[in-house]
Structure 1
Amino acid sequence: MTEASAVASFRRITPGIVASARLAMANDVPDTTKSEMALLLKKAAPVLGIDGTTYHVMDILLGLSRADDWKGAGRPVVAISNAKLAEYTMRSERTVIRSIRRLVEAGIAAYRDSSTGRRFVYRNEAGEVVSGFGIDFTPARVRVDELRQAVAEFHQRLAAELTAKRDIARLSRAIEDLCAAYPNAAAEFRSELASICQGNGHLLDRAAEVRELHGRVTMALSPEHVSFNMTCEGDMNVSPNINTTPESLSESRNKRTRSTEREDCQLDDRFAVDSAFENKPGEGGVGQQDQTGFPQRDVNAIQGEVLGSVSVGLLKAACPEAQSMIAMQFDSWASLGRAGETLRRMIGLSEAGWADGRNKVGLYAAAAILATVLEKSIRDPEQISRPGGYFRAMIDRALDGKLNLERSLFGLADHRYGQSEK
């Protein structure tokens, strides 16, 4: 197969299209695999500005490419018409054309146009491409090391920004507590803290300023720098009553505190989830009525029903690929909730769709469903061609009380362990 990458004359040429065409003509192409590149491109999507329909189109094109074309001297060319892509994505052909153009200008694909504009691939008996015209993903193979570095830097930046947000919130509370304890010397520090928090500077710079301010406030208002005038007036001169006689086991049990009982009681994951999503007193799982007059189910009741038999440990064991893709671990319900925004980007779900899912079934249930959909789409991309639609369908099943999330997660976990034993 020729390595020349021709761009049809009817296309409006931009510097990004020219750069992608040059990458597609490279002879020294690193050896990769289809699964590795698909995972890397999905991780790099936020860095490259790929989202929405463009992400969906990229996912379909990667799924249609052949695994053998990503190895050796192969060229991963996908021949599919714009009309077929529009049918798969339920978008117009013009939207599909713009999405493909974004992929090309992002530097991960290139146009390989025929003289007639048709897309087709001819293969020999060995399955090798003899002649192919369509969308060529050779630029992504050429930039594999650059994309890995960009993804690593992106995750480092996200981690640094998260740490900065936590430091600002934590140290601001500490400064406010010190100012409340010593109000006479706190007016200047309060105004400085307010100016930092309301400033338009970079998040990392504001975090550094808050840390520096906290150090100065601590030095100025710490106990050793504040004068105390303490007297012994009113003190009682009594000897302490210390009972050194050990109590019997029966007496100790009768005097057990409630905290001791909590330590002795081992709560399972089901009880913890049920307690976390317990309904408000008097609601009984039924909220207000909608416009049709029928009672509307409470979000907390739906969330407790979906996660009643699902634990964080089960999610962590069933979704290893999803955690690897977003570089986060599902160690707690809070960490799962924080990962929701990244998870919805990975499956190409719109912000409106994610907000609608949270409002209907709750943050943690929606995030657990997102993780399940992402895990399934990574393991079998051809089975789930529209992850966003799959997520909405699972939300609807949860509202109808027909979603068995526990069964899906156990199936993913069992499949994982079965693969590891082979």
Structure 2
Amino acid sequence: MTEMSRIPFGQPVEPCASHDKWVLLDTLTRAASCFGLNHRTLTVLRALLTFYPERALPDVPGLAVVFPSNRTLSQRLNGMPESTLRRHLATLVRHGIVSRQDSANRKRFARFGGLAFGFDLSPLSRLADALFQAAEAEQRTQQEIAALRARIAATRVRLIDDGALPVDHPLIEDSRRILRRKVDAPTLQVVLEVLETHVDKTRKIPAPAEKMSATDSEIERHIQTTDKAESVCKESAPQNPQPHQQDVPLDEVVSTCKEYQSFLPDVPSDWPNLIRAAQTLYPMMGIDRATFDEAKHRIGSQGTAVAVLCMLEKLPVIHKPGAYLRGLSKKAMQGRLNLRGMIRALESQRLSADNRV
């Protein structure tokens, strides 16, 4: 029987289409969920493939028949019970991955002359195109799920850091449980939309501050009649970061902030180099991309770079750098951010430390 299993039964006279059996198995493994297969069934299929001597698997029916007994298969599968083995074989047949070629007594064997009874593996080769398409679709789905999970985690942390929702809030707890489970993309999308709704609400928090002045009618009339231009300037100030950029000289920033040299030895010679240095540093400090982009919008690219370098100087005492930078952005939006004051405070601390030494 061992010698007979090596005989190339039914080899075609004319060439036929074929595919690498191990590539097909790897592709089917990545697309297993699309075909309703689990890892145990794939393990049985791998064992069946080992009984076919050639690596290239033909797609012509009857040219890739293997005929191991259940006992032989069970031994190759490290003693899998035959009842379990039969169940997985039936699953492969039911999904069209392999097909049966049974003899009259349902025994598996081969005879000289190309007659063989057992499991035909050629359906797997004929499914090659469908397998590749399903694997690509599954990869795109997994990438989408990974992106949604990352956005949910970042949004959840942001809501907690901003104090918009407490840690024990049902929405925060439900999102934590969702991230620990294996769920589909639509479910994750719904959770993300609910979380982002609360993020949008937190962004609108500064708006009621203007309504507080409406309690005094005289002050409201004064703003509307005499200080309207000044009010417009205050509203547009966060969108134009130039005042912050011009207030702090570059050489003063570079001479005061030294910690960045541990990561970037080259001293920035101009503002573009300083901005690039800040873009390199902020992920190392635990600041997410959305927070950094928001700071650039409200403070300006130069102002954000100065803020990042100042934060790096006292990073050991900043427990949540992302929340700290968002606080600076809010101050900039309210016109209360003083970057030069931050630089002077760092200079004073450095001088005090030098005097103590």
Q: TM-score range by the shorter chain?
A: 0.3 to 0.5
Whose radius of gyration is greater, 1 or 2? 2
Give me the TM-score of the superposition, normalised by structure 2. Answer: 0.47
- Where is the helix percentage greater, Structure 1 or Structure 2? 2
